[in-house]
Amino acid sequence: MSAGALAAAPAMVEPCELCAGRDWRPLLEKAGYRYERCAGCALVRAELAAFDPAALYDGLFEAAWLEREIARTLEPRKQAHYRAQIRRERRRVERPRGAAIDVLDVGCGVGGFLVAARALGHRALGVEVSEVAARHAREALGLEVRTGSLELCAALGERFALVRANALLEHLPRPLEALRALRQAVAPGGVLFGLTLNLDSWTFERAQARWRYLGMGGHLSFFDPRNLRALLERAGFRDVAVRTQGFRDESRRMGRLREAFEGWRAGRVGKGHRLYFEACG
C-alpha cells in the first residue's frame, strides 16, 4: 500500500493509554494489521478485525508443534537458562534468602519456565489463554496451569513474589490496563519481569515491514524503552529497569557472527529488538 493510501486511512479516535493523545500517525500495514504510532509518546498499536486471542493461539498450538515445543522447552540448556533467570530475579524479591516463593507465569505456553521453578522448590502457577497449550502443560508435564486471560489473575485472589510476563505485552491491545492487572498480582516486595519487542531498534529501522514480528501472531502493541518504562511506572511499579538486546538481519545476507556483533552493539545503545524489563511491586 502506498504512503498516500496510508495517509488517507481514518485515524484511530480512542486516546492513547499512556499520554491520552489522539494524534495517531499511520506507520505501516501488513497481513491485515494496520499499525499506527502515537505522536505524543511513540506507542504503537494495531487494528485487527475480528481478533479472538483464544481461537488464534489454539490454532497455532497444533499437536505436532506442541510436542516439538515441549521437547525444546525441556532441553537441559533451556532449563538451565530458566533456572538461572529465576535465581537472578529471586535476589530482588524481598523474602528470606533460600525460602521458597510463589511464582506466576502469565502466558506460560506449554510451561517450560514452570518446570524450572518447580525444580528449584518454588510453587509454580501458570495462566495461558490457549486451552490446547494449557491442557498439554497439565497432562504432559503435571503443571498447575489455568486457562484464561489476564482477568483470571485477579480472580485467583492470590499475589505472587515473582511474576513473569514473557512475550505477553505485544499481544495485548491495552498494555497499561494489562500492567495494572499484573501489578495486582505482584505481592508487596515482589518482582515483575519479562520481555517484549522494541520498535525503536536497528532491526526495525533496517527491515521495516519485513520484520518478522509485524503482521503475525496477534502482535498488536509495540514499545520503545522510554514508553515501556513510563507504562510500568504509570501502572504503579517502582525501581523499573529496562534494557535491549539483539539484532536480526531480515535480509539474510549477514553472517551469524556479524549479526551477533550487531546485536551486541545495538544493546549498548538501546537499539536491540528484544526489550527486557524488571520492576518491583
Per-residue pLDDT, 235: 97
Per-residue pLDDT, 216: 80
**HEC assignment per residue over the chain:** CCHHHHHHCCCCCCCCCCCCCCCEEEEEEECCEEEEEECCCCCEEEECCCCCHHHHHHHHCCHHHHHHHHHHHCCHHHHHHHHHHHHHHHCCCCCCCCCCCEEEEECCCCCHHHHHHHHCCCEEEEEECCHHHHHHHHHHHCCEEEECCCHHHHHCCCCEEEEEEECCHHHCCCHHHHHHHHHHHEEEEEEEEEEEEECCCHHHHHHHHHCCCCCCCCCCEEECHHHHHHHHHHCCCEEEEEEEECCCCCCCCCCHHHHHHHHHHHHHCCCCCEEEEEEEC
Residue 77: which region, alpha, beta or left (left: phi > 0; alpha: psi -120 to 50)?
alpha
Classify residue 61: in a domain, yes or no.
yes
Classify residue 45: in a domain, yes or no.
no
Per-residue pLDDT, 58: 61
Q: What rounded mean pLDDT belongs to the chain?
A: 89
Strand order, beta sheet including 144-147? 144-147, 123-128, 102-106, 160-166, 186-197, 274-280, 238-245
Classify residue 59: in a domain, yes or no.
yes
List average pLDDT for each run of 10 residues in the chain, which is 281 residues long: 43 83 95 94 84 62 73 93 96 87 95 97 95 90 92 84 96 94 95 97 96 88 98 98 96 90 96 98 88
Per-residue pLDDT, 12: 47
Classify residue 249: in a domain, yes or no.
no
Classify residue 210: in a domain, yes or no.
no
Per-residue pLDDT, 124: 97
| Cell digits of residue 40 | 505524543
Nearest to 43 by CA among 200, 168, 193: 200
Per-residue pLDDT, 196: 98
Nearest to 15 by CA among 176, 203, 184: 176
Those residues with Cβ within 8 angstroms of residue 123's Cβ, 6 or more apart along the chain or in another chain: 100, 101, 102, 103
Those residues with Cβ within 8 angstroms of residue 207's Cβ, 6 or more apart along the chain or in another chain: 248, 250, 251
Residue 35 in contact with residue 46, Cβ under 8 Å? yes
Residue 146's domain is classified under what CATH number?
A: 3.40.50.150
Per-residue pLDDT, 57: 63
Per-residue pLDDT, 48: 64
Classify residue 83: in a domain, yes or no.
yes
Per-residue pLDDT, 6: 44
Classify residue 270: in a domain, yes or no.
no
Domains contained in the chain, number? 1
Per-residue pLDDT, 98: 81
Classify residue 37: in a domain, yes or no.
no
List Cα–Cα distances, 229 to 91, 173, 184, 239, in angstroms.
21, 17, 18, 10
Print the domain residue range for 128: 52-166
Q: Rounded to two decimals, what is the model's pTM?
A: 0.89
Nearest to 40 by CA among 16, 62, 56, 58: 16
Per-residue pLDDT, 60: 63
